[in-house]
Amino acid sequence: MKDKLRKIIHVDMDAFYASVEQRDNPEYRGKPLVVGSDHPRGVVAAASYEARKYGIRSAMPSMKAKKLCPHLIFADVRFHVYEAVSAQIHAIFHRYTDIIEPLSLDEAFLDVTENKVGYELAVDIALEIKAAIREELNLVASAGISYNKFLAKIASDYRKPDGICTIHPSQADQFIEQLPIESFWGVGPVTAKKMHKLGIHRGSDLKAWSIVGLVQHFGKMGRMYYDFAHGVDDRPVEEIRIRKSLGCETTLEKDITAQSSAIIELYHVATELVSRIGEDGFQGTTLTLKIKFKDFSQITRSITQENSFELLDDILPQAKKLLSEVDYEDNPIRLIGLSVSNPKLESADKPLYIQLKLDFKDEEY
């Protein structure tokens, strides 16, 4: 087993957006709350733990959420607030290490093998971070500690909310063998279904396969699954994650089939994209159109040019051209999105901000 001496912490804020809203609005506390729009075509961005008891989850249509919980409270999304709170959380992280890899506004990896406070045990750092987040920001975080990113991420989910879990190298094999295959990094619903057909349901089943067999069935991902099943993950905690794309999308109030209506909506999305590009300074040479239809199927169409897409006069004509390649006469459009990618100049100063029950005795690590 490799990298036993590394000390990695994964910190994950519990129900982050919803918790911020409950913190800032006392009338929401202890009640089922979602962040998002209650519009008939709205989507849940985040759900409080009180709401989750009703089966409500992020990305769920708002109408379905309201059916599950008729007295559900909706709070408007306030990204500028969440970004500001995230910056405060990262300031706490930096008291201990500068080797921080943000995964989103509400979670990050920290490499504390060598840390600013000289602590021997990573769990002591994790406990102090959790305490500081609670005392200074009045929010709750969960933390996972292990010798690699794969296990630290799993550990942070193990005792949520307000949990802390250490997976020591001596415990890793037993932990992984009992882990449901759906909990493995990179295993989505489609891959899990394929694995089930092959008799792979838990980590022990996956571990029994050879690397040749896994690569045969899952391509290059097979090697990663093999490594994870054996407790191996050599990926470093990356201090800088360069933004690879920037985009926006909108779910329409009504499904549309008229070309004139589609172009109007495309104009609004393109205008928002131009605004975000201006704020971020991102320079992408590939423009991608995303269309989701009434039946929830979706397609993308892309075009690449030598110069970056930055101005409306650059983006809108090409977006219209991509839209003209889409047949939506018999399958109305539900959502339109635009994004730019394939950076012309990658800047190293822009971090990307884009989520079993076993009785283990935590060993010091």
Specify the pairing of strand 107-111 against strand 100-104. antiparallel
Amino acid identity, position 272:
E
Amino acid identity, position 248:
C
Torsion of CA 324, 329, 331, 335, to 10 degrees: 50
Strand partners, 8: 111, 146
3-state secondary structure 5-69: CCCEEEEEECCHHHHHHHHHCHHHCCCCEEEECCCCCCEEEEECHHHHCCCCCCCCEHHHHHHHC
What the block records as the tokens of 207 is: 């571990």
Strand partners, 32: none
Does a cis peptide bond (omega within 30 degrees of 0) precede residue 161?
Answer: yes
Residue 346: name the closest of 284, 302, 275, 304 by CA: 284
User: Pick the catalytic residue: 21, 50, 101, 107?
Assistant: 107
Residue 327 makes CB contacts below 8 A (sequence gap 6+) with none
* Residue 107 falls in the annotated catalytic set: yes
| Residue 147 CB-half CA count within 13 A | 18
Residue 179: name the closest of 171, 169, 170 by CA: 171
Catalytic residues: 107
